[in-house]
Amino acid sequence: MKPFFDVMDIDAVLALKARFEPVGAARIALEQALGRFLAEDLVADRDLPGFDRATMDGYAVRAASTYGASEGNPAYLNLVGAVGMGRTPDHRVGPGQASRIATGGMLPEGADAVVMIEHAEAVDDTTLEVYRSVAPGQHMVARDEDAARGEVLLPAGRRLRAQEIGLLAACGHTSVRVFDVPRVGIISTGDEVVPVTAEPAPGQVRDVNAYTLAALVAQAGGAPERYGIVKDRYEDLLDVCRRALAEKRMVLVSGGSSVGTRDLTEAVLSALSESSILVHGVSISPGKPTILARCGTKAFWGLPGHVTSAMVVFMVLVRPFLIHIGGGTGETPVRVRARLARNVASAQGRVDYVRVRLAEKEGQLWAEPILGASGLIRTMIAADGLMAVDLNSEGLERGAEVEVLLA
């Protein structure tokens, strides 16, 4: 066993993701794929949109025929027909010619731009006045501008948002191969923890962590299941951990990493088959006493009992592991740059994550620190994100540019 609080830095912990294999994959219907991670590269089997397409109502032209056109000196072009929606044009556009076209219409052969309808006027059935010149490619998209045949449009590991779903549909896919949703077991421990339906007696707290962690797991793309509250008894915790590890790909034990419960957690991990503790303390605040163990192919986390500490550790450490196990690659949390609204002190030797509220003042984004104990969930509710103070820093001064990890 690693000695307790033989702390690792955050980057070293995150590097351990490579020791855990992603879940399996399956093909599912496209309408069920939102939020899932692609399990294979999506390669375009044809050009998209597949034809030169107008993006404005107007007239398809050769751009060179409009050069120098202005309201005082319009260009006069010959009208040679119109393009029907959803039809292949049966005519071509030559020098000095124009063809009526609507948004989405296919440009006739010879045309390389579209003059907006607002910038032209038909003098009669055969003559068009153009008041503004256009450049080649203006107000149109090329046949392969959205996708070129053979191009990798979406790499394996990309999370499917609405726009990726739309691209898949545009490519004619009705199903897609994605990674399975990683299932995560959540266990709350502690003699002082009671169900949320109970009225806490003095010294007791409701099981807040089970619900906040389940919500964070779902946000990250996992499928959470709560295994209830386990009192500080070895046999009970061992039994629940064994069951959760048999059923899930990752297990989160809340309250099992602090000084008061470390011996119990270590004993349980020692009794679990193929288990080894990889991390027993992280240079992070709040959340220093975090535990990460590997049990066979499964990830086992011992998280702090204080709700804010547990949430910070999840956001910074557990979430990247969960995304990796779920097949995601290259996905990074959303971060913004801001100015620090006031001085913040910190202790060297740890990365201090400070809850901050964001506010815009005179065009500048400011981060206002929200201070409070790690057991106060309201500090997280008031916060828009987390600001990191480097482990080699004793603090930051007002006005310093900081990076905020959005919550």
Domain assignment present for 204: yes
What local confidence, expressed as pLDDT, does residue 323 receive?
97
Is the domain of 342 the same as that of 294? no
CATH code of 34's domain: 3.90.105.10
Domain assignment present for 195: yes
Contacts of 277 by beta carbon, 8 Å cutoff, 6+ apart? 1, 2, 266, 269, 291, 292, 293
Contacts of 75 by beta carbon, 8 Å cutoff, 6+ apart? 65, 66, 67, 68, 69, 129, 130, 133
Domain assignment present for 110: yes
CATH code of 67's domain: 2.170.190.11
For residue 4, pLDDT beyond 70: no
For residue 1, pLDDT beyond 90: no
Q: Which is it for strands 351-361 and 284-285: parallel, antiparallel or unpaired?
A: parallel
In this predicted model, what pLDDT tens digit does every residue of 42-95 receive, in sequence order?
Answer: 999 889 999 999 999 999 999 999 999 999 999 999 999 999 899 999 999 999
Domain assignment present for 87: yes
What local confidence, expressed as pLDDT, does residue 261 receive?
67
CATH code of 372's domain: 2.40.340.10
For residue 260, pLDDT beyond 80: no
CATH code of 283's domain: 3.40.980.10
Residue 81 C-alpha from the chain's centroid: 48
163: amino acid identity, one letter: Q
DSSP string, 300-335: EEEE-SSHHHHHHHIIIIIHHHHHHHTT--S----E
- Token output for 341: 């609204």
Is the domain of 126 the same as that of 245? no
Domain assignment present for 5: no
Beta bridge partners of residue 178, listed in sequence order? 26, 38
Is the domain of 19 the same as that of 33? no
Give residue 175's domain range. 25-48+145-179
Is the domain of 195 the same as that of 294? yes
Domain assignment present for 190: yes
Is the domain of 239 the same as that of 339? no
Helices in 71-197 by DSSP H: which ranges? 162-170
In this predicted model, what pLDDT tens digit does every residue of 117-139 receive, in sequence order?
Answer: 999 999 998 999 999 999 999 99
Q: Higher model confidence: residue 1 or residue 16?
A: 16
Domain count, the chain: 4
Q: Which of 132, 153, 179 is the last residue of a domain?
A: 179
What local confidence, expressed as pLDDT, does residue 314 receive?
97
What local confidence, expressed as pLDDT, does residue 15 receive?
97
Is the domain of 194 the same as that of 275? yes
Mean pLDDT of the chain: 93
For residue 5, pLDDT beyond 60: no
Domain assignment present for 4: no
Q: Which of 128, 163, 179 is the last residue of a domain?
A: 179
Alpha-carbon gap, residue 205 to 207, rounded angstroms: 7
Is the domain of 135 the same as that of 270? no
DSSP string, 232-297: S-HHHHHHHHHHHHHH-SEEEEET-SSGGGHHHHHHHHHHSTTEEEEEE-BSEES-TT-EEEEETT
Contacts of 91 by beta carbon, 8 Å cutoff, 6+ apart? 80, 81, 99, 108
Q: What is the mean pLDDT of residues 8-35?
A: 96
Kindly report the CA angle at 148 between 109 and 117, in degrees rounded to 5? 40
Look up the pTM and report it.
0.86
What local confidence, expressed as pLDDT, does residue 61 receive?
98
Domain assignment present for 107: yes
Alpha-carbon gap, residue 250 to 227, rounded angstroms: 13
Is the domain of 307 the same as that of 393? no
Confidence tier at 373 by pLDDT (50, 70, 90): confident
In this predicted model, what pLDDT tens digit does every residue of 145-186 receive, in sequence order?
Answer: 988 999 999 999 999 999 999 999 988 899 999 999 999 999
Q: Which of 257, 291, 325 is the last residue of a domain?
A: 325
